[in-house]
């Protein structure tokens, strides 16, 4: 079986949903290492323990549960983040081949958003959905309309329904419903009513499920093609997991900022990266203690007064900047700047990358990198790309941070760099060179610039999926592309959006971020020999965590 995750959710969870969950877990456990995950449940429920009796991944109840129902009700966004984090960590511990995700149970406290929350979590966990609908007191038409309404919610969340269980049926309903849904878009199975809360046992449920649901048909459905969505929560925790697999050392020059050391504490506690913090150990640990940070002592602290290290740095800085007339006295003064000092740690091989900008300006972060780490051979300029985590996928937007008015060579370079960035983060690069013109619909010098840049990109990398010049709507929407760029294989499917100047790039990424709720991670500084990344001075702790993790992944590419 190629499918790794499957989610079972219902708008009215209860006996029927539980019969399906038990039947599916028991079936899969016959031939797969099968784990169970409950994203949000009550502290007092016992059904999770029953499911674990039939799963075979040897997991604990704690490993099977994300958050409490109360947590999910009060702060859904925070709950989704915790659920994804727990799911990824637990999977790493258990290494199952199949993961059955079972949605929330019935609860005396009403939550009108519970079903949509379960749909969102299914997308976060990159799982297709087996929908369960109860037929009690419903006609076949009403069951049909309920399925359609629930499917709309699930699709809007970013995932899809691959099969439907109609539960609570008597024998006559089983026959009539199978006839009614025989030509439905996805398989529909009927399951008789069983009262697990009164007289039926879990074994009764499993036996009834096996008698009414053809195992081969269900397994084929579970193995059907599925393109996993990538929600912002899924992407953020995926980059943490990827960084953790091959730990790199990242230097943080701004040890005086509480957000920086809080982010460092989280990453050290989770063993995602190794950290070097510029500053005095005792002072930083004392601040960390006041903030309640318990893992900060795992960091390496580097004093800027370390004379032995300074001597080595001064010699190297004079060597690198000899043509600019660098002297030991000027080098010593230069190294009083934490960004220069931190960058020299990367140059000397004591760190694999650097993250700064929570206090410093972009210029102060980039300047030392350009002077000391330098650009990759053949690169025309450094550029800044954002990973835009949208509802169900991730796109690359560039250049949104560095180059004011790139010429054709620079714009082509930005496109090629951005395609490499996409690949580094498992995004298939399909590049759109943006303009107010689509394939010649408009004329002017700005269009000519994009035409030239597109030609250069095509010449340098003829195998790259590329379209340009193209308007944003034609790059984004398959429907618009059919009208404005009919037949073009990239239009409407662009994943890397290359803007013609800094104005348009910066405005667009912020407009998308603020109006759609997208998570913008970056800017990633492209074109340097070693990764150095810039933070916004308004960065939140989670932004800093994300940026440090993606810097580590960039460093992995250098291996």
Sequence-ordered list of residues with C-beta below 8 angstroms from that of 531, at least 6 positions apart, any chain = 352, 353, 354, 524, 525, 551, 554, 555, 558
Please state whether beta strands 532-534 and 353-356 pair in parallel, antiparallel, or not at all (unpaired): parallel
The 10s digit of each residue's pLDDT in 370-400 is 999 999 888 888 999 999 999 889 999 999 9
| Cα(279)–Cα(281) distance, integer angstroms | 6
Pair of tokens at residue 85: 């984090």
The 10s digit of each residue's pLDDT in 324-360 is 999 999 999 999 999 999 999 999 999 999 999 999 8
The 10s digit of each residue's pLDDT in 40-49 is 999 899 999 9
Q: Quick one: angle between helices 408-424 and 445-460, nearest 10?
A: 50
Q: 311: alpha, beta or left, given left = phi > 0 and alpha = psi -120 to 50?
A: alpha
The 10s digit of each residue's pLDDT in 249-262 is 999 999 999 999 99
CB 409 within 8 A of CB 251: no
Q: Measure Cα distances from 517 to 232, 388, 391, 498, 509 in Å.
A: 10, 10, 8, 21, 11
Which H helix or E strand runs over 549? helix 541-557
Q: Would you give the DSSP letter of residue 178?
A: H
| Cα(340)–Cα(378) distance, integer angstroms | 24
| Cα(391)–Cα(116) distance, integer angstroms | 14
Output the average pLDDT for the chain. 92
Pair of tokens at residue 201: 């046992």
Name the E strands within 361-514: 383-389, 394-398, 430-434, 465-470, 496-498
DSSP state letters, 99-152: EEEE-PPP-SS--TTHHHHHHHHHHHTT--EEEEEE-TT--HHHHHHHHHHHHH
User: What separation, in Å, do the N-terminal and C-terminal C-alpha atoms of the chain show?
Assistant: 33
For the segment 475-488, the average pLDDT, to the nearest whole number, is: 95
pLDDT at 93 (0 to 100): 84
pLDDT at 418 (0 to 100): 96
What 3-state DSSP class applies to 23? Answer: helix
Residue showing tokens 């490499």: 420
Is the pLDDT confidence value at 108 over 80?
Answer: no
Q: Would you give the DSSP letter of residue 182?
A: T
Residue showing tokens 């004591």: 350
Residues in the chain: 559
Q: Measure Cα distances from 507 to 234, 400, 500, 503, 534 in Å.
A: 26, 8, 12, 6, 18
Q: Would you give the DSSP letter of residue 467?
A: E
Pair of tokens at residue 462: 């003829």
Is the pLDDT confidence value at 110 over 90?
Answer: no
Is the pLDDT confidence value at 2 over 60?
Answer: no
Q: Is the backbone peptide bond immediately before 469 cis, with ω within 30 degrees of 0?
A: yes
CA-nearest of 528, 235, 523 to 353 is 528
| Cα(277)–Cα(285) distance, integer angstroms | 11
Percent of the chain with pLDDT over 70: 99
DSSP state letters, 505-548: HHHHHHHHHHHH-PEEEEEEEESBSS-EEE--TT--HHHHHHHH
Model confidence band, residue 3 (pLDDT cutoffs 50, 70, 90)? low
The 10s digit of each residue's pLDDT in 54-76 is 999 999 999 999 999 999 999 99
Q: Measure Cα distances from 34 to 1, 41, 123, 387 in Å.
A: 12, 20, 20, 33
The 10s digit of each residue's pLDDT in 119-154 is 999 999 999 999 999 998 888 999 999 999 999 999
Residue 482 CB burial class (10 angstroms; 0-12, 13-18, ≥19): middle
The 10s digit of each residue's pLDDT in 427-454 is 999 999 999 999 988 899 999 999 999 9
| Cα(102)–Cα(116) distance, integer angstroms | 14
Model confidence band, residue 170 (pLDDT cutoffs 50, 70, 90)? confident
In the beta sheet, which residues pair with residue 394? 389
Residue 99 CB burial class (10 angstroms; 0-12, 13-18, ≥19): buried
Q: Measure Cα distances from 86 to 37, 71, 122, 496 in Å.
A: 10, 14, 14, 31
What 3-state DSSP class applies to 456? Answer: helix
| Cα(194)–Cα(259) distance, integer angstroms | 53
What 3-state DSSP class applies to 98? Answer: strand
Residue showing tokens 């714009």: 411
What 3-state DSSP class applies to 469? Answer: strand
| Cα(390)–Cα(229) distance, integer angstroms | 10
Is the pLDDT confidence value at 19 over 80?
Answer: yes
Q: Cα 34 vs. chain centroid, distance in angstroms? A: 24
pTM exceeding the 0.75 threshold for the entire prediction: yes
């Amino acid at each position: 079986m190629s499918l790794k995750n499957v989610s079972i959710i219902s708008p009215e969870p209860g006996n029927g949903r539980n019969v399906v969950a038990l039947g599916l877990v028991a079936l899969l456990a016959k031939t797969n290492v099968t784990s169970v995950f409950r994203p949000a449940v009550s502290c007092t429920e016992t059904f999770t323990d029953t499911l674990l009796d039939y799963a075979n991944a040897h997991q604990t109840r704690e490993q099977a549960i994300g958050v409490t129902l109360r947590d999910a009700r009060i702060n859904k966004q925070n709950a989704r983040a915790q659920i994804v984090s727990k799911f990824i960590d637990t999977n790493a511990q258990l290494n199952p081949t199949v993961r059955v995700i079972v949605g929330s149970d019935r609860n005396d406290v009403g939550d009108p958003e519970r079903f949509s929350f379960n749909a969102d979590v299914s997308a976060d966990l990159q799982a297709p959905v087996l929908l369960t609908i109860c037929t009690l007191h419903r006609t076949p038409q009403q069951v049909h309309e309920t399925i359609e309404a629930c499917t709309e919610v699930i699709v809007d969340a970013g995932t899809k329904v691959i099969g439907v269980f109609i539960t609570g049926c008597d024998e006559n309903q089983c026959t009539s419903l199978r006839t009614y849904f025989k030509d439905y878009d996805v398989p529909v199975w009927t399951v008789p009513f069983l009262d697990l809360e009164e007289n039926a046992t879990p074994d009764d449920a499993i036996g009834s499920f096996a008698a009414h649901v053809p195992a081969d048909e269900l397994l084929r459905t579970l193995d059907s093609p599925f393109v996993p969505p990538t929600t912002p929560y899924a992407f953020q925790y995926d980059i943490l997991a990827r960084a953790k697999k091959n730990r790199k050392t990242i230097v943080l020059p701004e040890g005086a900022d509480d957000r920086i050391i809080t982010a460092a504490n989280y990453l050290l506690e989770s063993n995602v990266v190794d950290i070097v913090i510029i500053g005095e150990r005792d002072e930083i640990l004392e601040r960390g203690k006041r903030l309640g940070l318990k893992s900060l002592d795992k960091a390496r602290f580097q004093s800027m007064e370390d004379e032995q290290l300074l001597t080595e740095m001064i010699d190297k800085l004079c060597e690198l900047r000899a043509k600019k007339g660098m002297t030991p006295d000027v080098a010593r003064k230069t190294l009083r700047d934490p960004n220069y000092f931190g960058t020299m740690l990367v140059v000397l091989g004591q760190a694999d990358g650097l993250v700064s900008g929570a206090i410093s300006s972009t210029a102060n972060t980039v300047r030392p990198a350009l002077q000391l780490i330098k650009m990759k051979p053949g690169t025309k300029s450094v550029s800044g790309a954002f990973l835009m985590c949208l509802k169900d996928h991730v796109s690359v937007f560039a250049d949104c941070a560095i180059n004011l008015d790139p010429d054709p060579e620079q714009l082509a370079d930005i496109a090629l760099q951005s395609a490499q960035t996409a690949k580094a983060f498992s995004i298939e690069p399909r590049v759109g060179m943006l303009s107010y013109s689509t394939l010649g619909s408009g004329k002017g010098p700005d269009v000519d610039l994009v035409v030239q840049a597109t030609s250069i990109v095509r010449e340098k990398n003829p195998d790259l999926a590329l379209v340009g010049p193209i308007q944003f709507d034609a790059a984004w929407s398959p429907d618009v592309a059919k009208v404005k760029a009919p037949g073009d294989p990239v239009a409407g499917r662009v994943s890397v959006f290359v803007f013609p100047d800094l104005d348009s790039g910066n405005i667009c990424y912020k407009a998308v971020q603020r109006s759609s709720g997208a998570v913008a991670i970056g800017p990633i500084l492209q074109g340097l020999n070693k990764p150095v990344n810039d933070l916004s001075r308004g960065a939140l702790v989670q932004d800093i965590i994300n940026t440090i993790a993606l810097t580590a992944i960039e460093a992995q590419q250098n291996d």
